[in-house]
């Protein structure tokens, strides 16, 4: 049985997102890499480049689950913004639309 790690910090979430994007958009690394190879790269990069205020290393499965949670929340936010944009609020700026969500 493995022990649970502590909750993710905001800085750690930000770091994971940066590494995820860098890894997924890297044109030098084969874009047809396997899922397992992709997450191995994310795990290695996250743990090797983590800021000093993030103490513990995270495993591949933990990072996958956290990124899935983040992507789900981003998807809901995008849906909310699209819905508000489709209402075509007169004179509303992007900042106004974001504040409504």
And the tokens for 21? 């994007």
Given a contact cutoff of 8 angstroms between Cβ atoms, the answer to whether 29 and 23 are in contact is: yes
Residue (of 63, 55, 77, 20) closest to 85 by Cα position? 77
DSSP 8-state assignment for residue 55: -
pLDDT by residue, tens only, the chain of 101 residues: 455 556 888 889 999 999 999 998 887 776 677 889 999 999 999 999 988 877 788 999 999 999 999 999 999 999 988 888 788 667 777 787 777 66
Parse the chain into domains and list their residue ranges.
Answer: 10-100
Entry pTM: 0.75
Cα separation, 65 vs 17, in Å, equals 13
């Amino acid at each position: 049985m493995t022990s649970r790690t502590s909750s993710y910090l905001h800085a750690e979430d930000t770091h994971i997102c940066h590494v995820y994007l860098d890894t997924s958009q890297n044109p030098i690394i084969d874009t047809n890499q396997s899922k397992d190879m992709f997450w191995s790269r994310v795990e290695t990069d996250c743990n090797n480049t983590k800021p000093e205020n993030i103490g513990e290393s995270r495993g591949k499965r933990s990072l996958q689950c956290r990124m899935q949670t983040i992507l789900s929340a981003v998807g809901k936010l995008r849906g909310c913004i699209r819905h508000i944009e489709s209402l075509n609020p007169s004179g509303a700026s992007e900042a106004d639309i974001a504040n409504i969500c």
